[in-house]
A and B are shown apart, each in its own frame.
Chain A
Amino acid sequence: MTEKPILPDTSGADTSSSETEFDAETRRISERRQLLTLGAAGLPMMLTLKASAREVLISQLTCTVKLPQRMRILVDCDGAAWVGTRSIDYVNGKGFEVADIVKFKDKASYVFPSGTVPNNWRPDTCPIEECNNDDDDDDDDDDFDFESASAELDELMRASFSDQADGIMLASAMISRKGDDDDDDDDCDEDYVDSGYAYYQINKNTTISPADHLSGSTWSTQNNNNGLFIELSLAYEASYGNTAGWPGISCIFSIITYLGQQS
């Protein structure tokens, strides 16, 4: 509804202002009559804006995540996870190549601590430590320089963790790596390991809809690779909030924010 602007009176006559008010009221009533005539003919007397606050809230739920690159996830028996892009070969009858696992962990972009990944995605079989003989003469430890790693770790510890999210992850990776020498069967001097790890792969450009993993207002992740991605996303969000890095974290964050608004 548009209205002609009421121009200021410049004639200087005292009576003109009251006439203007009268004219304005007359015009207003006339316009209202016209509107009512249109209403009687079927024109709606109210409109609901599409860009309403509700639409904004719902859009928080409908966001999707499209993976910019292939994501590979290695999960151990304790629920720790390593996320990266390197491949790990699995040889039938033998298992994963230990060297691949070591490299994957070493180059992982993200490391999640034990307990992060629910049982659904942990390996079906876990090794029983029987080869923990430290006085063997194998060279398994040669691929890891404890002295230099320790020095790097000390440096990281001195750095401010609050503004070095990647540093924390790297430190975690080193700690995990250090522990790996005890539980990766390295001491058993095997080239392959057929238990103790589950390995998942999500292809590049996979579109994930986090809201599909919601039941009511609570998370209920589906038992598939995308569900694992959601679990790791939630773990990342719990530690780092909406800090850029993890793919699609802003989508996850917006849904968590939405759920918070509803509770």
Chain B
Amino acid sequence: MASSGDDSSQVWTSDSSQYLSVMYDDTHLVYFKPSGETHFLNFLSFGLIDVLSEKSLTIDGLHELIQDRFSLTADDIPKSLLISTLAELDLAGLVSSKRVKEKL
């Protein structure tokens, strides 16, 4: 289920055992086993699922980590772009999110 992603209480994750990927230059062909679909991901969208396969993150944590990973700045990768890309990945089933209960 796709969600807006713009929620600091949401934690995003991905399961690398669910897909197979092959890299071509700066893009990746990703075969997602549960749906049987093949996706063509650029460096950003693949970077997101790769990072989230290693560690579950909130949108803010993901925003920081992805900048470091690609030596880019927050201006280069607007948070809104991250959110819309996560929504695309969520629709394809490549990422999922869960809401973390805040401690009282």
Cβ of A54 and Cβ of B35 under 8 Å apart?
yes
Give the number of chain A interface residues (Cβ < 8 Å): 22
Q: Tell yes or no: A47 within 8 A of B by CB.
A: yes
Cβ of A46 and Cβ of B45 under 8 Å apart?
yes
Cβ of B27 and Cβ of A1 under 8 Å apart?
yes
Query: In chain B between 1 and 60, which residues have their CB closer than 8 angstroms to a CB of chain A?
Result: 25-27, 29, 31, 35-45
Instruction: State the main secondary structure of chain A at its contact with B.
Output: helix
Given contacts A32-B70, A35-B44, contact A47 B39 (CB under 8 A): yes
Cβ of B85 and Cβ of A45 under 8 Å apart?
yes
Q: How far is the CA of A51 from the CA of B31 in the complex (A)?
A: 12
Cβ of A53 and Cβ of B81 under 8 Å apart?
no
Q: How far is the CA of A31 from the CA of B26 in the complex (A)?
A: 10
A residues near B102, Cβ cutoff 8 Å: none
Q: How far is the CA of A44 from the CA of B40 in the complex (A)?
A: 10
Cβ of A29 and Cβ of B39 under 8 Å apart?
no
Cβ of B39 and Cβ of A32 under 8 Å apart?
no
Q: Tell yes or no: B62 within 8 A of A by CB.
A: no
A residues near B81, Cβ cutoff 8 Å: 36, 39-40, 45
Q: How far is the CA of A1 from the CA of B46 in the complex (A)?
A: 15
A residues near B77, Cβ cutoff 8 Å: 36
Cβ of A57 and Cβ of B36 under 8 Å apart?
yes
Cβ of A46 and Cβ of B89 under 8 Å apart?
yes
Looking at the complex, which one of A3, A45, A52 makes contact with B45 (CB distance below 8 Å)?
A45
Looking at the complex, which one of B25, B29, B41 makes contact with A45 (CB distance below 8 Å)?
B41
Cβ of B72 and Cβ of A52 under 8 Å apart?
no
Query: In chain B between 60 and 104, which residues have their CB closer than 8 angstroms to a CB of chain A?
Result: 70-72, 76-78, 80-81, 84-85, 88-89, 92
Q: Could you say which of B26, B27, B38, B80 has the most chain A C-beta atoms within 10 Å of its C-beta?
A: B38
Q: How far is the CA of A52 from the CA of B33 in the complex (A)?
A: 11
Looking at the complex, which one of A3, A28, A35, A49 makes contact with B38 (CB distance below 8 Å)?
A49
Q: How far is the CB of B3 from chain A (nearest CB, A)?
A: 17
Cβ of A46 and Cβ of B25 under 8 Å apart?
no
Q: How far is the CB of A24 from chain B (nearest CB, A)?
A: 11
Cβ of A39 and Cβ of B44 under 8 Å apart?
yes
B residues near A54, Cβ cutoff 8 Å: 35-37
Produce 1/0 per residue, A213-250, CB < 8 A to B.
00000000000000000000000000000000000000
B residues near A53, Cβ cutoff 8 Å: 31, 36-38
Produce 1/0 per residue, A190-220, CB < 8 A to B.
0000000000000000000000000000000
Q: Could you say which of B44, B80, B89 has the most chain A C-beta atoms within 10 Å of its C-beta?
A: B44
Give the A-binding residues of B (Cβ under 8 A): 25-27, 29, 31, 35-45, 70-72, 76-78, 80-81, 84-85, 88-89, 92
The 6 closest A-B pairs by CB, nearest first: A54-B36, A45-B45, A45-B85, A47-B40, A52-B38, A46-B45
**Sample of 20 further A-B pairs with CB below 8 A, known A35-B42, A49-B29, A53-B31:** A3-B25, A28-B26, A32-B43, A32-B72, A33-B72, A33-B76, A36-B44, A36-B76, A36-B78, A39-B84, A39-B85, A40-B80, A46-B41, A46-B45, A46-B85, A46-B92, A47-B40, A52-B31, A53-B37, A53-B38
